[in-house]
Structure formats: structure tokens, C-alpha cells
Amino acid sequence: MAQKTQQHTFGGSIPENYDRYLGPLLMEPYAKDLARRLPATGLRDVLELACGTGILTRHLRERLAPETKLVATDVSEAMLKIAKSKPGFSKPVEWKAVDATSLPFKDSSFDVVVSQFGIMFFPDKEKALKEIFRVLRPGGKFIFNVWDKLEFNDFPQVAQETIKPIFDGNPPEFYGIPFGYHDHYVLRTEMRKAGFVDVALATIEIKVQAAARDAAMGFVQGNPIADEIEKLGKSLAEVTDQVEQAMASGLGKKICKGRTRAIVIGGRKPGQLSKSAAPKAEPAKEAPRPKTKAAASKPPTTRVRKATAKPKPKPGVKRKA
């Protein structure tokens, strides 16, 4: 049976902190990887689910041809507000507040559906997968990623291990959601149950770095664990300070460095896209693709590709060692 998850809201100051701190640290490296998995030309309509603050959206819009329609959606109006306010989109994006379990689109409307670290938050994954399958054209693909186990993701693991003992046996449970949907058998089975074929998985590992304060702000105040901490009667500022100290102690005093690991999943709706929607050959000057190819185009694999992402420093932000 597909997992069902409590709906979490990204409201208040969470979207801003998410975009400012978790965006450069975690989302940017994997957004670049996921966007490269879509053909640059030949697509008519692309749907992004759980677009958040538009980090993957920007990379998709830069990657896709001008004539490709891109619809970016999220259930959180607060996250969409930040996404829509960002300057620099060179091509149009259609933004919509959408529940992934009830998509307001006609059958066979999109060539590709893509989602970055979103499916873990869908309250009814089985229903969402059926909806995604429904809105895809025959031959269309669903490509998405999820986080691997917490033990393979250094920054959130340090945050979890620091926060847990503060609450005397009743710790916040939020981290269990983004880092709790990684079983390869479950992922493959639920995709096939929804009707997808050629389902394949690839494991990606990327090394990242950030100042301890930035990482602590992201993992304490940039996601819904912030609401849980306050509901349990603890000070966000104090918990953030403790996580910052743990990050500096465990991952580096000046700059914290750690590994992240995710799983990319791809599947295809049976049939074949019409010729007008079939991907064309890549331009000759296209940047080289990662060694791990598109998840839906090769047999299942657990090979790990390693890379390093160095987020750009933010001017005017004071960082502590």
C-alpha cells in the first residue's frame, strides 16, 4: 500500500529561510542534475509539481526551448509567492497553486512531469501517481528525485541528532518525511502500480558546503520542523544555536562540508509521443551530461555519482565560524 503523509505547510518565515539557506546548500546542485535529464528540444508541455520557491523551475526554463510551455505548481501559496517574485526568468512560466493529488488538467496534457524532492510530502502518493499518469500523454515521462536515508545526508543527520535529545523522548518528527521515502522496492512498485513502464532508479551523491550558521538556519527554521519545535515549547533561536555549534563541531568550524545523497526515479506512460513532441537531437554545443544517465532510459542501477557543489557566498550576510 502506498504511503500516506500528513500535509505540511510551508508558511510564515519558512519559505524565505528555505530559499535563502537550503536552496544554495541542497536544492541547486540537484536541480541542475534533474533539469539536464530532460531533452532541451522537442517537448510541447512540461509540468513541474512541488516547485517550491522556483529553484528547479529556473533551471528547467533555461534548459527547455522557448516554445515549450512550462507550468510550475505548488500547494503552498507562500512558496509560490517567492518563486513568482524572482527576477531573471528569460522565458515565460505559468504558475499555479495545485494539489498534486487532484490535478486540474485534462487527460494527456503533458509530455513530461517533473518534481524535485516533492513526492515525499504528497499526502496520498498512490493518488498523486495516478493523477500524474493521467495527465501525461502516451509515451510521456515522469522524472523525480527523493532523498536517500538520513545516514547518507550529513547536514540533516547532524541536525536530527542534535535536536532529538532536547525534547526528552518526544522529538519533532518532521525529518522522517523528507528522509523516509527511499526504499527502492517501494518506489519501483508504486510507479508500476500506477501504470508506468521502463521504471528505473539511479543514486546520486553530491558533496556540498556552507557556513555552520547558514546550515543551522536552513535545517531548523527553513522547513516545518520550526513549527513543531515551537509547538513543543522550545525556543527556535536556542535550538538553532545548538545545531550551529554541532554543525561546526562535526562538519567543520570555518566551512562545514558534507555529503548528500538522493535517488532519481523515472518512468514512462505506455505509448509513443507524437512526432511533434518527440525529443530532437541535442545541439552540438550542449554541455556534457552527467555520467549517470536519465533514470527512465536505462535499467535499474545503484551506482553512485559523486560531485561537489560550492554555493556562492551571500553579500551582507554575517557568518560565524
DSSP 94-155: EEEE--TTS--S-TT-EEEEEEES-GGG-SBHHHHHHHHHHHEEEEEEEEEEEE--GGG-HH
Q: Which residue has cell 554543525?
A: 247
pLDDT at position 89 is: 82
Intra-chain end-to-end CA distance of the chain, in Å? 46
User: Do residues 43 and 112 make contact, with C-beta atoms less than 8 angstroms apart?
Assistant: yes
Q: Measured between alpha carbons, how far is 259 from 163 in angstroms, rounded to an integer? A: 20
Sign of CA dihedral 271, 273, 274, 280: negative
CB atoms inside a 10 Å sphere around CB 299: 7
Q: Is 106 exposed, middle or buried (0-12, 13-18, 19+ CB in 10 A)?
A: exposed
Q: Is 12 helix (H, G, I), strand (E, B) or coil?
A: coil
Q: Which residue has cell 505506455?
A: 270
> What single string gives the DSSP state of each residue in 254-294?
SSEEEEEEEEEEEEE-SS---TTTSPPPPPTTPPPPPSS--
pLDDT at position 274 is: 78
pLDDT at position 309 is: 52
Tell me how far CA of residue 254 lies from CA of 80, 144, 210, 211, 251, in angstroms. Answer: 34, 34, 9, 7, 9
C-alpha cell at 306: 559523486
Strand order in the sheet with 304-309: 94-97, 69-74, 45-49, 110-116, 136-147, 256-268, 197-210, 304-309
Which of 53, 51, 137, 148 is CA-nearest to residue 100?
51
CB atoms inside a 10 Å sphere around CB 87: 4
Q: Which residue has cell 559523486?
A: 306
Q: What is this structure's pTM?
A: 0.84
pLDDT at position 317 is: 44
Q: Measured between alpha carbons, how far is 10 from 222 in angstroms, rounded to an integer? A: 9
pLDDT per residue of the chain (321 residues) written in tens, 0 to 9: 455 555 566 778 999 999 999 999 999 999 999 999 999 999 999 999 999 999 999 999 999 999 999 999 999 999 999 999 998 787 899 999 999 999 999 999 999 999 999 999 999 999 999 999 999 999 999 999 999 999 999 999 999 999 999 998 889 999 999 999 999 999 999 999 999 999 999 999 999 999 999 999 999 999 999 999 999 999 999 999 999 999 999 999 999 999 999 999 999 999 998 765 444 434 434 444 444 443 333 433 444 555 555 554 444 444 443
Residues 6 or more apart in contact with residue 222 via CB below 8 angstroms: 14, 17, 18, 20, 21, 22
